Amino acid sequence: MDCDNQLLGETDLALVDALQVNPRASWTSLAGALDLAPVTLARRWQHLVESGSAWITVALSNSAMRGALLELTCRPRTAERVALALAELPNVPTVGITTGEFEVFALVLAPSLPAVAEALVRTLPIPPEVTKVRSYVYSGLFGGVVWRLGVMNRAQTELVREPTGPSPEQIRPFGPADRALFLALGHDGRRAYTDLAAELGTSPQAVKRRLDRLRRHGDITFRCDLARPLAGWESMALLWLAVPDLLVRETGRRLGAWPETRHCAAVPGPANLSLIVSLRSLDHLGDLLTRIGLECPEVSVVDRRIVLRQIKVHGRIVDELGRSARVVPVDPWSTPS
């Protein structure tokens, strides 16, 4: 497979899809659904990772996430410089360059609303090339943290899906030990329990037990991402929608479940729903806008912009083909030194 000039093959896409369903599944448990030997799956995944074509990382779940979307206007021909500077910040997981007056967008994460305010007002370094900034604090998140290619059929998906146990009735607040575990998974969400335990000074059983509880409680989730152009997603768009207040959550949940959605957040303001979608072509954007009009007739599209270049995708600095070039692990608790 030459990842430089062709799309990923069906086998690799199915493997990525399987890991999107169950990111930490063993190769043995995936073998039956994908009809390949475990050693073959491990080898193919290693190739995808080493080529930067796919990766797995940890994320805060929608219910646990607090943050904001920034839009920045830059001096002429400085948008890439600004985007790259923002991409180095651990509490800025995603950065892109778009068409329009506000050429750069960035997602900012923090553990609480006061921490979001502190980042926006005081601590987030704004590059000197920026001439104007707009910020939108999330009042709700509805989708995009975890998404799927949808290559496998329903039967394969059920074979791969991890059985879910009951949510724990009680769990201690997300504390320093949990943050350490979260950060230890930032480079590789499939990192072995033994490696994690050695770094954190505990046992593999304790790591697994804590990780399982955090997932079942809805504090964290895992995501399998890939170089989207290599899967036929050649572009993206950022849309701003105006939705009647009583319908914001219903509309957000509906749009957040669309397979194209990579980010959907409610924000206070005249345009009160932001939507970032992957596109197979520019015509695909027209199809999505038509679908919004038909399925959500009460929604007005206030603004639409094409994402010209993704710079960072949830902690991964990516190249022009969307391949992971290096990692800046996501750390919502960080502040600039």
Among 60-74, 167-181, 280-294, name the one with the lowest average pLDDT.
Answer: 167-181
* pLDDT per residue as tens digits for the range 225-238: 999 999 999 999 99
pLDDT band with cut points at 50, 70 and 90 for residue 224: very high
Opening angle at CA 336, ends 201 and 307, nearest 5: 105
Among 19-23, 64-68, 148-152, 239-243, name the one with the lowest average pLDDT.
Answer: 64-68
Beta bridge partners of 106: 70, 95
Average pLDDT over residues 268-284: 95
pLDDT at 171: 65
* Distance of alpha carbon 239 from alpha carbon 301, whole angstroms: 7
pLDDT at 1: 40
* Distance of alpha carbon 139 from alpha carbon 153, whole angstroms: 35
CB 89 within 8 A of CB 124: yes
pLDDT at 144: 79
Q: What percent of the chain has pLDDT over 70?
A: 96
pLDDT band with cut points at 50, 70 and 90 for residue 110: very high
pLDDT at 162: 84
Q: What percent of the chain has pLDDT over 90?
A: 85
Confidence check: pLDDT of 2 > 50: no
Length of the chain: 337
* pLDDT per residue as tens digits for the range 53-85: 999 999 988 777 799 999 999 999 999 999 999
Q: Which two tokens stand for residue 241?
A: 């929608």
Average pLDDT over residues 108-137: 95
The larger pLDDT score, comparing residue 119 to residue 4, is at 119
Which residues, 6 or more positions from 257, have their beta carbon under 8 angstroms from its beta carbon? 143
Q: For the chain, where are the E strands, in sequence order? A: 54-60, 66-74, 94-98, 104-110, 130-137, 140-143, 220-226, 235-242, 261-266, 273-279, 300-313, 316-318, 324-327
Average pLDDT over residues 180-197: 96
Nearest to 190 by CA among 15, 322, 310: 15
pLDDT at 65: 78
Among 47-61, 150-164, 187-201, name the one with the lowest average pLDDT.
Answer: 150-164
Average pLDDT over residues 146-157: 92
* Distance of alpha carbon 236 from alpha carbon 121, whole angstroms: 29
pLDDT at 145: 84
Opening angle at CA 170, ends 169 and 172, nearest 5: 155
pLDDT at 6: 78
pLDDT at 3: 41
Confidence check: pLDDT of 42 > 50: yes
Q: What is the pTM of this model?
A: 0.92
pLDDT at 166: 65
Average pLDDT over residues 256-283: 95
Interior/surface letters 31-41, b for 16+ CB within 10 angstroms, e for the rest: bebbebeeeeb
pLDDT at 5: 52
